[in-house]
Amino acid sequence: MQTLNSYAPEIIRIVMAVVGGAVVVFGNALVMGYMERKLAGHFQRRTGPMEVGFHGLLQLVIDGIKLMSKQLVIPAKADKPLFMLAPIISFAPVFLPLLVIPFSDRIQGFDLDVGLLFVLAIASINVLAVLVAGWASNNKYSMFGAFRAVAQNVAYEIPMLLSLLAIVFMTNTFSLRGIVEAQTVWFIVLQPVAFIIYLICMVAETNRAPFDLAEAESELTAGFHTEYSGMSFSLFMMAEYTNMFIVSCIATVFFLGGTSGIPLPYFEYTGIIWFLLKVYLFMFFLVWIRWTYPRTRFDQLMNLCWKYLLPISLVNLLITVVVVKL
Amino acid sequence: MILYRYIAEALFYAFMILTFMGAFMAVRSQLLMHAVIGLAVSLLGIAGLYFHLGSTFLAVMQVLIYVGAVCIMIAMGIMLGNTPSQLAEKNLKGRNLLLAIGSCAAVFLALFATLSRTGFAPAAERIGDMSIQFVGENLLLQYCLAFELISLILLTAIIGSIILARGGRDGAVK
């Protein structure tokens, strides 16, 4: 049993990371699905789902079963292999960024010294998935949706990265753990401009209203996932919810001090409570503005990014660098 | 410990297979879009190889730049022109086939001759600490010239695209 002892801890850690990732992805999809429908209902002075379970708590379980049993319709003129591949390209990478996020002092897959870049790199694969989905559907609405998604994502990645870079310059590290540890004062206080820019870019990067031009249902039916049904549609939805979770995690790590909060017993593990509270605060914000504001026009969206957010974030970065190096 | 070596070995071959399969798909598929996906898969495999060699930074940059930017730009270019049913014309026949085989054989022989003559010294355990500080210092001190030359190419590309787009869109909504 000598060998078993020598490799067991690492193996156990791998298994825990895989199971934990799956729990976060699917649990988050369930919580967010319910939260979004319930909140949307209340914002519009309705009640939201009420029938299944207490206040509709089991609605998402029922919906999941429905989605799994639905037929997967592939349009006759679609590119079949790519059509089936697109949801997988979208969904498969969302597990990876969860590995580097410091949920608490002890709950983290592994700490990369390029943690932030890792998260951004994995996030950029999602754009490819949207593009492939739009193209493979062979449908004008899907194609336009995909085009818009790409233009939007590529544009908003720049101010997003620049606003985060200001904080990287302050802390001298890309590691998410390092950034959490460097925060004696939450960076939302020291970098309010970067926070607001990040908040706007966060909404645009996850393709959600008021920036959900990629799936604007009033003009493009449903954008890039017009032709998707059943499980392939729900894979896109789960990928979207997990991406929301990840950008909220990054916001928490960079601006709200990660796990910091009122100390609890066993804080190296229970810090996750504060972390998740902050994350779901951001998620609530995303849902809140989705159901409050109308959709912007596409040129307004692009102008906002290139003419306002990009220069402001550059100036912010410059000021930060000067102040840090003084 | 021996298990880790097997896992690492298995990962190495997995990345190799990914790279070669992607490359094969990029070369052989008749649909341009499939070729781009093949290219993306192949580049992901190469990113995996970088990761296997211990340079996370390079792996991350590979994904960020090649998969996240270059492949998407190519795919967008294809989407502007083609539809999913448009197959590329098969022109690998007659003289083209001979030329293809000849050039492939020549490149293979040249590479094979070089590789077989080179005496590969076993790599040192770890040259640098591969951290982002190490990469940054090397790029800006030791390899400063190469770094600046690459940025010159990017500058040329940016100026070129500005010149191309200077006329603006005629008849576009102001």
pLDDT in tens, A206-247: 888 788 777 777 777 777 777 787 788 888 888 888 988 999
To the nearest whole percent, how much of chain B has pLDDT over 90?
Answer: 17
pLDDT value for B84: 63
Assess whether pLDDT exceeds 60 at residue A63.
yes
Lowest mean pLDDT among A152-161, A180-189, B80-89, B111-120: B80-89
A124, A156, A179, best to mutate vs chain B, most B CBs in 10 Å: A124
Q: Is residue B30 part of a domain?
A: yes
Residues A115 and B66: their CA atoms lie apart, in Å, by 19
Q: What is the pLDDT of residues B59-80, one digit of tens each?
A: 888 888 888 888 888 888 887 7
B173: pLDDT confidence band, cut at 50, 70 and 90? very low
Q: Are residues B7 and B71 in the same domain?
A: yes
Interchain proximity A124–B67, CB inside 8 Å: yes
Choose among B4, B63, B72: nearest Cβ to A121: B63
Question: What's the average model confidence in pLDDT over B97-119?
Answer: 90
Lowest mean pLDDT among A86-90, A116-120, A306-310, B53-57: B53-57
CB A204 within 8 A of CB A305: yes
Question: CA distances (Å), A9 to each of A3, A112, B1, B6, in order?
Answer: 11, 20, 11, 17
Q: Are residues B78 and B4 in the same domain?
A: yes
Cis peptide before A210, with omega less than 30 degrees from 0? yes
Residues A108 and A175: their CA atoms lie apart, in Å, by 12
ipTM over 0.90: no
To the nearest whole percent, how much of chain B has pLDDT over 70?
Answer: 85
The domain in which residue B55 lies consists of 1-87
CA distance A326 to chain B (A): 21
Chain A residue set in contact with B, beta carbons under 8 Å: 3, 6-7, 10-11, 77-79, 81-82, 85, 112-114, 117-118, 120-122, 124-125, 127-128, 131-132, 134-136, 138, 143, 146-147, 150, 154, 174
Assess whether pLDDT exceeds 70 at residue A271.
yes
Average pLDDT, chain A: 83
Q: What is the pLDDT of residues A180-191, one digit of tens each?
A: 888 888 888 888
Assess whether pLDDT exceeds 50 at residue B174.
no
Question: What does A127-166 look like in DSSP terms, one character per residue?
Answer: HHHHHHHHHHTT-HHHHHHHHHHHHHHHHHHHHHHHHHHH
pLDDT value for B20: 92
Interchain proximity A150–B63, CB inside 8 Å: no
Assess whether pLDDT exceeds 60 at residue A96.
yes
Q: For B65, which DSSP code?
A: I
Q: Is residue B115 part of a domain?
A: no
pLDDT value for A2: 41
Assess whether pLDDT exceeds 50 at residue B109.
yes
- From the CB of residue B167, how many other CB atoms can be counted at a distance below 10 Å? 7
Task: Give CA angle at A130 (A126, A132), nearest 5°.
Answer: 110
Lowest mean pLDDT among A21-30, A40-49, A97-106, A258-267: A258-267
Q: What is the pLDDT of residues B17-41, one digit of tens each?
A: 999 999 998 888 877 888 888 898 8
A to B CB pairs, distance under 8 Å: 88
How many separate domains does chain B show?
2
Question: What's the average model confidence in pLDDT over A299-316?
Answer: 89
Assess whether pLDDT exceeds 50 at residue A5.
no
B2, B3, B4, best to mutate vs chain A, most A CBs in 10 Å: B3
pLDDT value for B130: 67
B88 token code pair: 């590329």
pLDDT value for A59: 83
Question: What's the average model confidence in pLDDT over A112-116?
Answer: 83
Question: What's the average model confidence in pLDDT over B149-168?
Answer: 85
pLDDT value for B127: 58
A4: pLDDT confidence band, cut at 50, 70 and 90? very low
Assess whether pLDDT exceeds 90 at residue B107.
yes
pLDDT value for A292: 86
Q: Is residue B124 part of a domain?
A: no
Give the largest Cα separation in chain A, rounded. Answer: 65
Assess whether pLDDT exceeds 60 at residue B166.
yes
pLDDT value for B46: 92
Assess whether pLDDT exceeds 50 at residue A281.
yes
CA distance A135 to chain B (A): 7
CB B17 within 8 A of CB B48: no
Interchain proximity A6–B64, CB inside 8 Å: no
Q: Is residue B47 part of a domain?
A: yes
Greater model confidence, A278 or A326: A278
Which DSSP helix (H) or strand (E) runs through A108?
none
* Nearest Cα residue in chain B from A117: B60
Interchain proximity B1–A6, CB inside 8 Å: yes
Structural domain spans, chain A: 78-325
Assess whether pLDDT exceeds 80 at residue A35.
yes
pLDDT value for B88: 67
Assess whether pLDDT exceeds 70 at residue A148.
yes
Q: For B87, which DSSP code?
A: P
Residues B56 and B128: their CA atoms lie apart, in Å, by 13
Q: Are residues B22 and B77 in the same domain?
A: yes
Average pLDDT, chain B: 82
Question: What's the average model confidence in pLDDT over A79-106?
Answer: 85
Q: Is residue B67 part of a domain?
A: yes
Q: Are residues B13 and B73 in the same domain?
A: yes
Q: Is residue B81 part of a domain?
A: yes
A291: pLDDT confidence band, cut at 50, 70 and 90? confident
Interchain proximity B79–A135, CB inside 8 Å: yes
